[in-house]
Every structure is written in structure tokens, then in C-alpha cells.
A and B are shown apart, each in its own frame.
Chain A
Amino acid sequence: MAEVELRRICKTFDRQTVVHEVSALIEPGEFFVLVGPSGCGKSTTLRMIAGLEDISSGELLIGGKQMNHVPPSGRSISMVFQNYALYPHLTVKENILFGLKVRKVDKQEQAKRLAHAAEMLGISQLLQRKPRELSGGQRQRVALGRAIVSQHPICLMDEPLSNLDAKLRGHMRTEIRQLQQELGITMIYVTHDQVEAMTMGDRMMVLRDGQVQQIGRPLDVYNQPANLFVAEFTGSPPMNTVNGTWAGDGSCQGVVIGTGNEKAFLPIGYREGIREGAPVVLGIRPEALQPFAAEPTVGIPDHTASERAGQGKAERAVQGISQLASLAANPVASPAAGSDASAGAITLPVRVEAVEILGSETIVEFALAGARWKAKWNGQWPCRRGEMVRVGFYPGQICLFDPQSGKNLTASESKTIHQNVLQINAI
């Protein structure tokens, strides 16, 4: 078992820094995911750990030993490449044993390890085939087999699922995770897919433009994003964000969003360290926005007559929806559907702009305070475009970000409430 430590690692190509002072301590047996959009430096970081790229500055330690200048084969690391890197002219067996032959491992030992890996991955019947005769998933397994027989304590994976179709990807996610736990190896896994990061990793590191944005357990990253980028990168659909101003004093504090007629005050309550009039970015996860039947604490100050009339219609519509909710496929998972659940919630009437019914969940899109918002509700909600509905959320589910730095201003507070409203389909 070996731990991997990155100490302020940098990579510079022709004076352009692509990885900037990345530091992390990856524990033995941990599944560590590097995640970020294309070009964020995650693959480069992985390749530096593998020894396929030189480290421009900083230190790489594996098992406490500095490895900056040790060749890839001396780092006790196996690697699964994005395109699997199977030798097309060799059979599956020869591919799996290539590394062992190079290292002159005893023939009997080779056969033993091959049999073990083949059985583990269910590819025993494919050993005499060439890679071109295999499907994507089978190739993936062969690549995994190569990593298994090497018996290195650390395995690196560079977007290994990106070439597979969606169904197989889901299957392989579970399989890889299971394999890692069975073998007890340290896994460093690169992906641009936040779903993979959330579902597979013990911990994840979010990167952007070569800089670490956040390191933490997937749910912590999801619930307490360190900044606006992480908030918008994780979750599908991403977090709704809208610009606003911090307002109020004493007991009634909150955020004013929108302008003119669309101005709304959301009474969030006291938040430490935010001064009156300060610009903020309000963020809320789509699953935190739930349908409400009751209409207690709406904070829209300037109603016009027509808006009031619209609101009346909205209530009827919301009542209709709450009735429908009980008929929906999975109404239990809709925590705020009842009026009891709405205590302390902020609710708003909104006009539906678009609806996507996905079967197990419904994504409802609406415009509010000059921004498009998305809400994710469990079950099948047959609302239509143009319909008025009342949506609501709890103040504790709100994240506030600094518009300049993007930093989360509420990181430590919202944890408990988020955990309470955590839904299975949150990601």
C-alpha cells in the first residue's frame, strides 16, 4: 500500500502554466477522482504522477519517496488509458501478459495471475482473441486485466469510460469501483464527467484552468461547493444562480433579486460577514426548488393588479398540481408537497417556461428575476408551458457567493439542512 502526495506541483509548456501548484494527499486504498472540464489540467496532472510528463516544479512522493525523476516503470503504478492502449497485433492473453514478460516474471506466476484476472473480469473465453474482435466493454476489461496482473498498489485511469455508451458506462462504473475495493488498491481516476466523480470517488478534486478549486468527499463538494465554479460544475442540471443584493437588518435579512416589477426579496435570515448592500450571487440546487400548494411568505413587494389576478390562477394551478402529486409515480420523494412541510419555506409563484418529463423525475424551467431557473421534482408532473405554479425552498438550502471572487459565503452553515433534504436523485 502506498500513499501518493502531490506538493505544489506545476506544469509549464512554453511559458504557459497548465497545472498550477496542485497539492493533495491521496491515502492508500483510496479512490481519488480528478474532475474538471476539458483543458483544466487533470490529465496532465495524472500523467505527471505516471511519469509520462516531467514535473516543472513541485514534488511528487509515492510511499514517502520522492519520485520526480524516477521513470514510469519504477513508480509501482499501472495505468489504464482512455483508448485502452491494447496492442492490436497481440491476443488478449499476450496483451495482459506483456508487462509481466517484460519484467521477466516466472511463467507459472504469469499463468496464475492471468487466470485470476481473467476470472475476476469474466474474460476467460476471450484470451485468444485480438482486440479488434472485442467490444468496447471487453476491451476495457482487458485493459483492467493488464492493470490487475501487474499487482501494482496504485492504478491510474485516464477517462476510461468516455468511449463507452451510456448504459455500459453505468455498468463499468460499478464494476471498476467494486474491483478497486476488492483489490484494495489506490486509484487515481481522471474524468470530465461529474456523475462519475460523484458516484465512484471516495474523494474528488475539482480543477479549473490548472488550479485546484476544491478537494473533498463528493457529497461535501456537492452540498458545500467552495465557489461558484464548483457549484455550477456539479449536479445535473447545475445549480441555479442569480445576481442579487444583500438587504435588510436585524431579524429580517435576505437577498433582493431582479429589477423593477420583477424585484423580489427573499428573507434568508442572518448570515455572518455579509454587509448590507453587498452584491451577492444566490445559488440554489434544482432539487431544492419544490412545488408548494400553500402561499404563506411570498416576498414580492410590488404587485400590480394583473399580477394578483395571475397569482389567484397560480394558486388554483398549484392546488391542481398538489393533487396530481399524489398520483405521480413517486410522490413520497417529493418532501415539500404537503402544506405541513412548507413551514419556514420561501415560496414564489412562477410561470412555467418549459417542462422535461424524464420518467422518474420532471425538470421544470421558469423565469424569475431575469434568470432562467430549473427545478427538479421527483415523479411525473404533467404541468404545461405557461401554467403558473408555486415553488418554494428553505433558506438553509441557499448558497451565497461573492460575485467577484466566486467564493462561497455560506459554506459551513448549510450542511445539515442539505443533508436533511438530500434526495436519491440529487445527482
Chain B
Amino acid sequence: MGLEHRAKWRINIYAWLLLLPSLIFLVLFTFYPVLQTVILSFYQADLGSPEPFFNGGDNYRIMLEDDVFWKVLTNNLWFALGTVPTSIALGLAMALFANKALRGKGFVRTAYFYPTVVPMIAVANIWLFIYTPEYGALSHVMEWFGHGGMNWLGDRTNVMFAMIFMVIWKEAGYFMIFYLAGLQNISKELYESASMDGAKPWTVFRRVTFPLLMPTTMFVLIIAFTNSFKLVDHLVIMTKGGPDNASNLLLYYIYETAFSFWDQGMASALTVVMVVILLLVAAIQFFGLDKKIHYN
């Protein structure tokens, strides 16, 4: 009995030792910060309080009364609505084209994927130039149509469209790769069988391709939605959330609250809200859509 117990222990110790290196880093940089964030969200921890102190749900109450929070949340929802379906649809369309393209297949794929591999900061600067009023690339083009003076990033109504457009440009190529992999997993015989039956391309897409790509769509949907809440770098370079918070998004607002206003208690409360929203959306997608998806 004792011997058996010791042997079991030994196996367990081995397992824990093998897990230890990654476990240390996970605890230090993931689990502990998560826990600390949740705790801190119930504390007042700003520049006015040298020692953080427990203030119950005050941070959450203040947040709900904060107009900027609601503005940022609405912005984020519009941003998600603008980017997620469009970039997914475009990614799928590009994948369908890249999968079919007979000539220059490699070139088409590289061209589509290129925006994804360019560093975020470089992308932001390129688009900053494109959107620059008067001498930016877009202004030059718009001049031909007589609208040369448009200020894309400085205008409250235009700025969100400008950001949405840029993000679609960046994300679609990334999603295309997933769809391309998904398409290549579909047996050619299925298409041949459909063509023997005389199915039109749209029928084939609707009844064969799209249903079989649903696992990919599900995955891409979650990634796209998470990304739409994650945008910070472009905002730092291009708009800083302005003008008048018109392009401010939740994560950038958290960043500002934590590192510009140094209100870490409020930033923690905002973070908890964001994580809860993302979890909720992922859960709805996963448990709602998942039943309709065929996995091989």
C-alpha cells in the first residue's frame, strides 16, 4: 500500500515538475494579474489615494454614470458591427478567389495577406498619411471628385468610418488564411458530385461550401470580435481617441484611465466589464451557433 502510494506520488511530482516552468509564468503574468484586477476594481486606487482602499462597488457605479464610458461602449459596438461581418465576408470572398485563381495564385495570396504581416505601428503611419487632409493620398483622389478638403481623422462623423475601413483592410487578409485552409479541407469530390447533379455555383456555395466552412466561420467570428475590442496601437498613433472621444474604444479608454489619468481602480473595473462582455459574446457564439455547425 505504502509502496503504491509512493509510486503514485513520484508520478505526480514528475508531472508537476514538468508543468512548473510554464506554471510559474502563467501564475505570475496571467492568473495573479487577473485576480489582482478583479480585487482592485473594488478599490479606490488613484493619484489622490496614496494607499488603495476598499470602496465597494463605487467604481462600477461611477462608471455607469460616466458619459464617456457609454460613448466608448457605443463606439465599440458600432466598430464591432462595422468591422466583424465585413472583414469576415471579405476574407471569405478573397479566400474563394485565391483558391480558384489559376494564374498568379501565390501572388494573390501574398498580396491579400500582406496587410497582416506589416507591423501595427507602420500600418498606422501609412494610414495616417493616407488620411492626412490636403496632401494625403486619399485627399488627392477625392480632389478629382471635388471633395479634396475632407478631414477624415479630424471629423467626428468621418473618423469612425476611417478607422473601420483601415481595420477591415488589415483583418480581411488574416481571416482569408483561415478560410483558405478551410476550403482546402473540403474534398474536391463533393464539388464534382455537385457538378454532376448540375448545381449552380450559388447553390454549391450555399449548400456545400458555406456549411462546411462553419467551423472556420465560428473561429474567425470570435477572433474578429475580440480584435474589435482590442484596438489600441492605431488609436495611439492616429487619433488618440478623438476628436471628442468619437474614435475612442474600450481598451484605449482603459489604457488612458490607467496610464494617463492613473486611476487604476476604475481601469480595473473597466477591464472586468470588457472581459465579461467578451466572455458573454463568445459564449453566445459558442453555445448558440455551435449546434448548427458540422465538425468533421
The 5 closest A-B pairs by CB, nearest first: A73-B198, A89-B294, A99-B197, A85-B189, A85-B193
Chain B residues with Cβ below 8 Å from A99 are 196-198
Asked if B203 and A102 sit within 8 Å, CB to CB, the answer is: yes
Contact of B294 among A72, A73, A88, A103 (CB under 8 A): A88
B199 close to A (CB within 8 Å): yes
Chain B residues with Cβ below 8 Å from A71 are 195, 198
19 contacts between A and B (CB under 8 A): A52-B192, A52-B195, A52-B196, A72-B195, A72-B198, A73-B195, A73-B197, A79-B196, A81-B189, A81-B193, A85-B187, A85-B193, A89-B211, A89-B214, A98-B194, A99-B197, A102-B198, A102-B199, A150-B197
Taking residues whose C-beta sits less than 8 angstroms from the other chain, chain A's interface range is 20 to 34
Chain A residues with Cβ below 8 Å from B49 are none
Chain B residues with Cβ below 8 Å from A103 are 197-198
A83 close to B (CB within 8 Å): yes
The residues of B with any CB-CB pair to A shorter than 8 Å are 187, 189-190, 192-199, 203, 207-208, 211-212, 214, 294, 296
Please give me the residue from chain B that is nearest to A150 by CB atom.
Answer: B197
Contact of B196 among A78, A89, A132 (CB under 8 A): A78
Min distance, Cβ B43 to any Cβ of chain A, angstroms: 51
A264 close to B (CB within 8 Å): no
Chain A residues with Cβ below 8 Å from B189 are 81-85
A329 to B94, CA, bound (A): 68
Interface of B is mostly: helix
* Interface of chain A residues 65 through 112 with chain B (CB within 8 A): 71-74, 77-79, 81-85, 87-89, 98-99, 102-103
* Interface of chain A residues 168 through 199 with chain B (CB within 8 A): none
Chain A residues with Cβ below 8 Å from B203 are 102
Chain B residues with Cβ below 8 Å from A74 are 198
Min distance, Cβ A92 to any Cβ of chain B, angstroms: 14
Asked if A73 and B296 sit within 8 Å, CB to CB, the answer is: no
A52 to B190, CA, bound (A): 12
* Interface of chain A residues 33 through 81 with chain B (CB within 8 A): 50-52, 71-74, 77-79, 81
Asked if A77 and B196 sit within 8 Å, CB to CB, the answer is: yes
Given contacts A88-B212, A130-B294, 18 further A-B pairs with CB under 8 A are A50-B196, A51-B196, A71-B195, A72-B198, A73-B196, A74-B198, A77-B196, A79-B193, A82-B189, A83-B187, A83-B189, A84-B189, A85-B187, A85-B193, A87-B212, A88-B294, A98-B199, A98-B207
Chain A residues with Cβ below 8 Å from B187 are 83, 85
Asked if A85 and B208 sit within 8 Å, CB to CB, the answer is: no
Chain A residues with Cβ below 8 Å from B296 are 88, 132
Asked if B212 and A102 sit within 8 Å, CB to CB, the answer is: no
Chain B residues with Cβ below 8 Å from A77 are 196
Please give me the residue from chain B that is nearest to A75 by CB atom.
Answer: B196
Instruction: Tell which of B196, B208, B296 has the most Cβ of chain A within 10 Å.
Output: B196
Asked if B195 and A85 sit within 8 Å, CB to CB, the answer is: no
Chain B residues with Cβ below 8 Å from A72 are 192, 195-196, 198
A359 to B84, CA, bound (A): 68
A81 to B188, CA, bound (A): 11
Instruction: Tell which of A81, A84, A89 has the most Cβ of chain B within 10 Å.
Output: A89
Asked if A98 and B196 sit within 8 Å, CB to CB, the answer is: no
Asked if A89 and B212 sit within 8 Å, CB to CB, the answer is: yes
Chain A residues with Cβ below 8 Å from B214 are 89
Min distance, Cβ B92 to any Cβ of chain A, angstroms: 17
Chain A residues with Cβ below 8 Å from B198 are 71-74, 99, 102-103
A102 to B199, CA, bound (A): 6
A223 to B163, CA, bound (A): 78
Asked if B195 and A87 sit within 8 Å, CB to CB, the answer is: no
A189 to B212, CA, bound (A): 30
Min distance, Cβ B3 to any Cβ of chain A, angstroms: 46
Chain B residues with Cβ below 8 Å from A78 are 196
Min distance, Cβ B183 to any Cβ of chain A, angstroms: 15
A84 to B189, CA, bound (A): 8
Please give me the residue from chain A that is nearest to B198 by CB atom.
Answer: A73
Instruction: Tell which of B189, B190, B203, B211 has the most Cβ of chain A within 10 Å.
Output: B189
A103 to B295, CA, bound (A): 28
Please give me the residue from chain A that is nearest to B189 by CB atom.
Answer: A85
Chain B residues with Cβ below 8 Å from A84 are 189
Asked if A102 and B197 sit within 8 Å, CB to CB, the answer is: yes
A82 to B188, CA, bound (A): 12
A143 to B190, CA, bound (A): 12
A102 to B195, CA, bound (A): 10
Min distance, Cβ B184 to any Cβ of chain A, angstroms: 15
Chain B residues with Cβ below 8 Å from A130 are 294
Min distance, Cβ B293 to any Cβ of chain A, angstroms: 9
A89 to B296, CA, bound (A): 9
Please give me the residue from chain B that is nearest to A95 by CB atom.
Answer: B193
Chain A residues with Cβ below 8 Å from B195 are 51-52, 71-73
Please give me the residue from chain B that is nearest to A103 by CB atom.
Answer: B198
Chain A residues with Cβ below 8 Å from B211 are 89
Please give me the residue from chain B that is nearest to A98 by CB atom.
Answer: B197
Min distance, Cβ B203 to any Cβ of chain A, angstroms: 6
A266 to B212, CA, bound (A): 66
Min distance, Cβ B215 to any Cβ of chain A, angstroms: 10
* Interface of chain A residues 137 through 152 with chain B (CB within 8 A): 146, 150
Please give me the residue from chain B that is nearest to A100 by CB atom.
Answer: B197
Chain B residues with Cβ below 8 Å from A150 are 197
Min distance, Cβ B179 to any Cβ of chain A, angstroms: 17
A150 to B193, CA, bound (A): 12
A50 to B198, CA, bound (A): 12
Chain B residues with Cβ below 8 Å from A82 are 189
Please give me the residue from chain A that is nearest to B296 by CB atom.
Answer: A88
Asked if B190 and A87 sit within 8 Å, CB to CB, the answer is: yes
Please give me the residue from chain B that is nearest to A79 by CB atom.
Answer: B196
Min distance, Cβ B21 to any Cβ of chain A, angstroms: 39
Chain B residues with Cβ below 8 Å from A83 are 187, 189
Min distance, Cβ B292 to any Cβ of chain A, angstroms: 10
Min distance, Cβ B210 to any Cβ of chain A, angstroms: 10
Please give me the residue from chain A that is nearest to B294 by CB atom.
Answer: A89
A193 to B193, CA, bound (A): 24
A122 to B55, CA, bound (A): 72
